[in-house]
Each structure stands twice: as structure tokens, then as C-alpha cells.
């Protein structure tokens, strides 16, 4: 089973018995979003040509919430 499916299952299980503001449910939802983004990034990057160090640095800044 993929990591994404594992996270989806955890969110589903926790959401049955926990309130929306439960810290474990909030953390599980965050982990699900991160895993979804990670899989999207991996698929996208696999199609790219090699990047320069400057290009990689620019993308890293964006991922950290900065502007380029």
C-alpha cells in the first residue's frame, strides 16, 4: 500500500471518533497533505531535465514559503 493510502486510512479512522480540532487528527491531515504534495513533486520532477544549482535553490526558497 502506498504511503498516501496509509495516510488516507489514518485520517478516515481518526475522523470517525475524534473532533475536528483533535491534535492527532490535525496532524494526520497535515501528513496526508504533505504526502500528496511529495508524490506530486516526485512525478513532476521525474519529467524534468537536469536543473542547475541556481534553479534548485530558487525552487527550495519557494517550498520554504519565500518568494523568488
Tell me: the pLDDT tens digits for 35-45? 999 999 999 99
Instruction: Give the C-alpha separation, 21 to 32, whole Å.
Output: 16
Q: What is the DSSP letter of 68?
A: -
CA distances from 42 to 6, 27, 37, 45, 68 (A): 18, 22, 9, 5, 21
Euclidean distance between CA atoms 27 and 24, whole angstroms: 5
Cβ contact 25:11 at 8 Å = yes
The whole-model pTM stands at: 0.77
Tell me: the pLDDT tens digits for 24-66? 999 999 999 999 999 999 999 999 999 999 999 999 999 899 8
Amino acid at each position: 500500500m502506498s504511503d498516501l493510502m496509509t495516510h488516507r486510512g489514518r485520517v478516515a479512522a481518526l475522523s470517525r471518533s475524534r473532533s475536528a480540532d483533535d491534535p492527532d487528527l490535525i496532524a494526520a491531515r497535515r501528513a496526508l497533505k504533505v504526502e500528496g504534495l511529495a508524490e506530486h513533486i516526485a512525478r513532476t520532477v521525474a519529467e524534468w531535465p537536469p536543473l542547475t544549482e541556481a534553479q534548485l535553490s530558487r525552487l527550495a526558497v519557494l517550498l520554504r514559503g519565500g518568494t523568488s
